[in-house]
Amino acid sequence: MDLVFLAQAAEGGQQASNLGNGLVYGLAAIGPGLGIGYLVGKSVESMARQPEAAGMVRTTMFLGIAFVEALALFGFVLAFII
């Protein structure tokens, strides 16, 4: 059952598009959520193992977060556009 059908089954018109918008953002947030969690967890682990490398790890972590987060934000913007 595809999402468009689900959305149409909801109640037609405005409500369907609201549900669609919510689904777009919700689905777009799953992957980046998992990704950021994994990324930060691993970074904290390596910072705890080697505190003297914390600065380098933190910079790289923010870079990685920025790339992963972009996907979720595309979903957020698309939710308003469609």
Partner 1 sequence: MNLLLAAEAEGGFHVPSLETLFEFPAFLFEDTLFALNRTGLLYLIAAGIVCALMLTAFRAPKVVPGKFQAAMESVVGFVRDNIVLEVMGPDGLRFVPFLTSLFLFIFVNNFYEIMPFVQFPTTGRMAVPALLALTVWFVFIAVGVKNQGLKYFKNAIVLPGVPFAIHFLLVPIEFISTFIVRPLTLAVRLFANMMAGHILLAIAFIAANAFLIDFHAWPFGFFPEGASGAVIGIFALAAGPLLVAFELLVGVLQAYIFTILTAVYISGALHPDH
7-44 burial: b if 16+ Cβ within 10 Å, else e: beeeeeeeebeebbbebbbeebeeebeebbeebeeebe
Under the rule (CB under 8 A), what is the footprint of partner 1?
Answer: 55-56, 59, 62-63, 65-67, 69-70, 73-74, 76-77, 80
CB of 19 to partner 1, least distance (A): 15
CB of 61 to partner 1, least distance (A): 11
**Residue closer to partner 1 (CB basis): 4 or 55:** 55
CB of 36 to partner 1, least distance (A): 13
CA 19, CA 75: separation in Å to the nearest integer?
Answer: 14
